[in-house]
Structure formats: C-alpha cells, structure tokens
Amino acid sequence: MPELPEVETTRRGVQPHAEGRILTRLVVRNPRLRQPVPADLAARIEGHRLVRVWRRAKYLLLDFGEGSVIVHLGMSGSLRVVPATEPPGTHDHVDFVFGEQALRLRDPRRFGLVLWQTGAADVHPLLARLGPEPLEAAFDAGWLHRVSRGSRAPIKHVLMDSARVVGVGNIYASESLFRARIHPLEAAGTLGPARCARLVNAVRETLAAAIEAGGSTLRDFVGGDGKPGYFQQQYYVYGRDGASCRVCGGPIRRIVSAQRATYFCPHCQRRRGARPAV
C-alpha cells in the first residue's frame, strides 16, 4: 500500500499541473471503488478552480474552495498526470481533466477512494481523529513519550497507530526503528525521553530520504509523473531477511507481529525488555 512518502511524492508531482486551474471535466468510468464515487461529484466540482493540492496522512486532498475531494490510492493505485486525450487503460477509473491535461486515477484492485467533503476536509470521519504529521513540529519526543506511557504494545505497533502519528506504515516503521537502534517488539512504555527523541529523528530522516527518492516501488507504484520510486534500494532491513546487515554484517531477521512482516537486525536492535526508561 502506498505510504506517506509515496502519497507525498504523488502530491508534489500533480500539484504544479493542477493547482490554480479550472476543472473542465470529471470522467468517472467505474464508480465502484472501496466506497462508490459520489454520483453528484461532477456537478459539484466541474467549472471550479482547484485552490490547493495537499496531503493529510495517506490521503490526497483536492480543495475546490467550497469543499474537497478526498483521494486514497488504495492498495496499488496511482494518480498520474497524462494528456487528456490519452486512451484509458482497463484500470483507469477516474480522470480529473484540466484542459489538455488530466489527473488519472489507476486502481487495479479498486480499493481506493474518491469522496467529497463539504467545507473543511479534516472534519471528515476518515481524517477527524488522526494524529500529528510526522514531519511537522507537533510530532516530537515529548508527544511520543506522552502517548506511549503505560503502553505494553510493541513500539512498532504504536508507530503505525494513526491516532498517535500518521503515515508511518510497515516499511517505514521497520526502517525508522533500525535507524534508531530500537527493537520493534520492545514495549512502547519502556522508551524514555532520550530514545523517544532518537526515534522521532529517525522517523523524520527515513521519511525525508524516501520522499527524496520518490518513495518505494515494490509492485505497481508510480508517482504523478509516471516514474517509479527508488527508496527500496536504500532499505536497511525491510524485505532483506537473511541478508547481511549494512552496519554490522549480521543476518537480518523476519518475524510476524500483528499479522504484519517485521524486519530487524538482532545485533543492532537489541531488545531491552522492561528495563528502566532512559
């Protein structure tokens, strides 16, 4: 599933081609996504100016002033800039047409979303209870320390809890914990201020590096320009079970936690268990 770096890469790719322009036409070839595309969406946005293209967590938000279109890329979707006349493929379900160019939503599994929210987008039920953005000031060591107090949940699960911090999915949680030298199964409540600060910095560094590389392309993801991402070439642990650690040379391990694959280096990420917080 596209995570925060892939969605941010998409946002940066489509923004220059659509922001500030008039939507001339909405083409919905297949409204049957995870939730149906609203039948009245074209009537709401055709002829209106796209004021802003922004992102909240893993959602792309197309702000048309009176309301916003909320787009989620699902499991394997993409939103690309294409010539409006380019013939659609089998899985090209929605086009936002701006004159000679279009933003085209491709979603082979139809697990994505195209929804409408009148007024402020962040009051929509999908967005209203989200935690802070990991690249913004609200996500800091103090916040992570406060929201993890008393928690016996593995710290990797806490990082992936969108009520505590948004957009850190399975790949980037594993990579961030490696950079912070913290075992993924360590109880979140055992992390003291120093390790919380280290982890916050690692999350930011990992996400920033991934965005710079255009995100990760493991299967189908391409950015707004149709190009794949390359961050997977920089992975320290994710998907590298049995390979040598790039730091210590020991073998990377894979375990399953909460039905998700988790990768780590047993040497670089030694588990402290319930030792006093430091």
In tens, the pLDDT along 219-271 reads 454 444 555 445 667 789 998 999 999 999 999 999 998 888 999 999 999 98
17 annotated as a binding-site residue: no
Choose which CATH entry (3.40.50.2300, 3.20.190.10, 1.20.120.530, 1.10.3720.10) describes domain 4-123.
Answer: 3.20.190.10
157 annotated as a binding-site residue: no
HSE toward the beta carbon, residue 151, CA cutoff 13 A: 22
Which residue is associated with the tokens 């709401």?
Answer: 44
- Active-site residues: which are they? 2-3, 58, 260
Q: Where are the domains of the chain?
A: 4-123, 141-264
Q: Which residues contact 21 (CB under 8 A, 6 or more apart)?
A: 49, 50, 98, 99
How do residues 176-208 score in pLDDT, each as one tens digit? 999 999 999 999 999 999 999 999 999 999 998
Q: Which fold has domain 141-264?
A: Helicase, Ruva Protein; domain 3 (1.10.8)
